[in-house]
Each structure stands twice: as structure tokens, then as C-alpha cells.
Amino acid sequence: MDQHVDQHQQQLLRDRSTQLFGRLPAGVWAAPGRVNLIGEHTDYNDGFVMPFALAEQTLVAASPTADEHWTVHSSTIGDGETVSFGPDELVPGMAGWQAYVAGIVWALREAGHAVGGAELMISSTVPVGAGLSSSAALECAVLTALIDLYGLEIEPLDRAILARRCENEFVGAPTGLMDQAASTLCTGDHALFFDCRDYAHEQVPLELAAAGLELLVLDTRTPHAHVDGEYAARRRSCEEAAGILGVPALRDVDDLDAALQKLTDDTMRRRVRHVVTENERVLLARTVLSDGSRTPAERFAAVAPLLDASHASMRDDFEITVPTVDLAVETARRAGALGARMTGGGFGGCIIALVPAGTADSVAAAVATAFADAGFGAPAHFLGVPSDGARRLAA
């Protein structure tokens, strides 16, 4: 975590909050965005994922209020307007970014928690619409703030489940639990291995520096056209396939060849193959990264081909990549990445690339050149630093 950025972002937010609400905030809370190291579109199939939290985070400066009203301002999300809502407006389907805030209040109250009003000032360094989980960061930051303000006792895993309830039932996005679990449960220098069926989880050491590596996050800046419809379509297809195969979820397919033979639709076959093989790759990556008999460099040498195979599977079988994303991955590899893949829901957004320490900028420059040659807009990039999950910041 870059303490300098943390402090600076926090001080600015405190100042803005004091200016708008006329008093010092009671505290500041943070929740990170994430990249997913491996395990894409497996979460809603009861499968396995392995994300890690980024240093890019959403901060909330908050104070309790005596009335049951929530007043929210964000300098970085939306149009910079101040929005306010009361209990009668906590109705699923609310439009705009404030739904992620109202939905958290709604989810807490639906679960029987006594949460009162609040003034909330928000700022975020998580890029929006880049597949880095900016919505989960917003949900989890607001949730953590309200839990502390009202002295609620809610375990970390239950927090993630509450935040997903906001996303699924209030905002209306049919996502799995990965993003909220990452934003809540991750710890610095580790990835989170998470079983999306029984919610068992463990911290997997990454030790990128000891391996002589860094993780480049490159944002293709491709707008997520049709992402909502395509995501829901992938989910439907997986659920239909599980129904035909007579299993509760695709996680339960243990003989892939036999399953593929039972399916007549070629597209559905490929969707199933992605999910089943992706789950296998996550399990392998977890075994390799937890193997104390190998050096960090040896562990990542074994993980890199899994990243490559994951990308090929998303491109050819699950069909969730786009030309900019594929070009970024191919170019990163040609420019020296050990392994690279798209990360997140797909149809644009970011790629991650495991690169030798000190080379992220040159690999990103190679991708920028390839983009310019292909007539694509300029990408953006930064280093993915495995960081802590949601927490209260020290003043």
C-alpha cells in the first residue's frame, strides 16, 4: 500500500467532508478494488476464484446523523452532485451510482441491523468500468463505515454476503460473490483463494518481489458495451447446462468428456469446458503458490502458463474477450511477460501480465505502440500491488 497516496487521498476527503457538512467526519473507511489472478466466471457456478485486493481504493468519510436520512457526495463518481434519500426511497431498482450506497443501507436493514442516518463523502481511485470492481469497492467502503458508525457486529464473510445482496437485489446485477469477498477479505501480499460454494477461504502468499516479478495491470479503456446482457447470458447458459447435465452447478461436473457428449449445443459445450477447466486451473494455481518446497520464482513459472491457458479459454470457449484485450495480452507476452490474461467480467476492461521486476513500463509501452498501430485508443497502466481489504483508516 502506498501510504503517501493513502494519506493524501484521505486528507483531501476529510477537508471536503468538513467543508460540505460543516463538521469533521467521525472517521474514514477504505475498501479496495481487485484484480482476479485466476478463476473467471466461476463464482456463480459454485466454483473457485483467486483475486487480490489492489492499492486503488474507495474512501468514505462518514458521520452519523440524528435523523433517518443519508446524504452522499462523491467528487470522483457520478456528476459531483450531492444526493439524499430517506427510508421511503430505499426501493430496489434505484437508478444511478447512489444505488450502491442506498442498497447497502437497504441490505443492512433487510438483515435486521439497526442502522441510522449518515453523511457520507466519497472519493475513489478505482477506475470505473475497467473490470476492477469499483462497485464492490464502493459497497464495501460504505458498508464498513456504517457498521462501525452504528457499532454493528458483522463477521467479514457476512459483510461480503450483505454487499452482494445490495448488488444482486437492489442494483439488479446478477453477479457472484468474488468481488465483495475480495474487497472484504483480502490481505496484503496475498491472493484470496475462495470456494464460492461453501465460502471456505484461505490467504495464498504471492511474494512477487521475492520472485523478481511485478504485476502489470493494463486498462484497455475499451468501453464495456453490452456487458450486462452478455454477463447475464453467460450465467443463464451455465445454469441451463447444469440443468441438462443433472448437477446442482457446473462445479459438480467431474467427467468433462462425458458431460460434453451429453450436450448437443456447441456453444453450450464450450461454455461448460471453460468453467470446468478454469476451476481446475484455480486449484492448480493454489497448489503451486502454496508449495513451500518451491522458490517464489519457481511458483510463478508454474502459474504463468495457467494464466495464458485461462485467457485462451475466455477467448475461444467463453467468448468474453474483445480485440483490444486479445492484442494487449499477445503484445505483453511478446514484450516479455511470463503469462497474461484478461481479468474481470470481460468485454473490455483490464488485462494482467506477470512481468520481470522493473519492466512493467516497457511492456505497457509495447502495448501502447501496438494499439496505436491497430488504430485503437491509448491504454492506461499501473502496478497491481496486493493490498489489504476493507478497513477503518487511522486518522
- What positions carry a catalytic annotation? 179
Segment contacting ligand GAF (CB under 6 A): 36-44, 92-100, 153-161, 294-302?
36-44
Indicate which single residue of 56, 179, 219, 317 sits in contact with ligand GAF (rule: CB under 6 A).
Answer: 179
CB of 28 to ligand GAF, least distance (A): 26
Nearer to ligand GAF, 73 or 159 (CB): 159
* Residue 40 binds ligand GAF (CB under 6 A): yes
Q: Name residues contacting ligand GAF, limited to 332-391 (CB under 6 A).
A: 344-345
Segment contacting ligand GAF (CB under 6 A): 16-24, 70-78, 170-178, 328-336?
170-178
* Residue 251 binds ligand GAF (CB under 6 A): no
- CA–CA distance from 133 to each of 127, 169, 334 (Å)? 9, 17, 28
Phi, psi of 91 (to 5 degrees): -120, 125
Question: Closest by alpha carbon to 328, among 359, 383, 372, 370?
Answer: 370
Asked if residues 227 and 347 have their Cβ atoms less than 8 Å apart, the reply is yes
Nearer to ligand GAF, 196 or 393 (CB): 196
DSSP secondary structure of 179-218? HHHHHHH--TTEEEEEETTT--EEEEE--TTTTTEEEEEE
Which residue do the cell numbers 464495456 mark?
A: 224
The helix or strand, by DSSP H or E, that contains position 67, with its residue range, turns out to be: none
* Residue 278 binds ligand GAF (CB under 6 A): no
Q: Name residues contacting ligand GAF, limited to 120-159 (CB under 6 A).
A: 133
CB of 304 to ligand GAF, least distance (A): 20
Nearer to ligand GAF, 211 or 215 (CB): 215
Question: Closest by alpha carbon to 289, among 308, 309, 307?
Answer: 307
How would you classify the pairing of strands 213-219 and 350-356? antiparallel
Phi, psi of 127 (to 5 degrees): -55, 135
Cα of first residue to Cα of last residue in the chain, in angstroms, is 16
d(Cα 149, Cα 181) in Å, to the nearest integer? Answer: 21
Asked if residues 69 and 84 have their Cβ atoms less than 8 Å apart, the reply is yes
Asked if residues 353 and 363 have their Cβ atoms less than 8 Å apart, the reply is yes
Judged by CB under 6 A, the number of residues near ligand GAF is 12
* Residue 41 binds ligand GAF (CB under 6 A): yes
Indicate which single residue of 103, 117, 127, 176 sits in contact with ligand GAF (rule: CB under 6 A).
Answer: 176
d(Cα 237, Cα 52) in Å, to the nearest integer? Answer: 27
d(Cα 97, Cα 135) in Å, to the nearest integer? Answer: 9
Nearer to ligand GAF, 178 or 332 (CB): 178
* Residue 6 binds ligand GAF (CB under 6 A): no
Segment contacting ligand GAF (CB under 6 A): 41-49, 80-88, 197-205, 287-295?
41-49
Segment contacting ligand GAF (CB under 6 A): 119-127, 172-180, 197-205, 241-249?
172-180
Return residues touching ligand GAF (CB under 6 A): 36, 40-41, 43-44, 133, 175-176, 178-179, 344-345
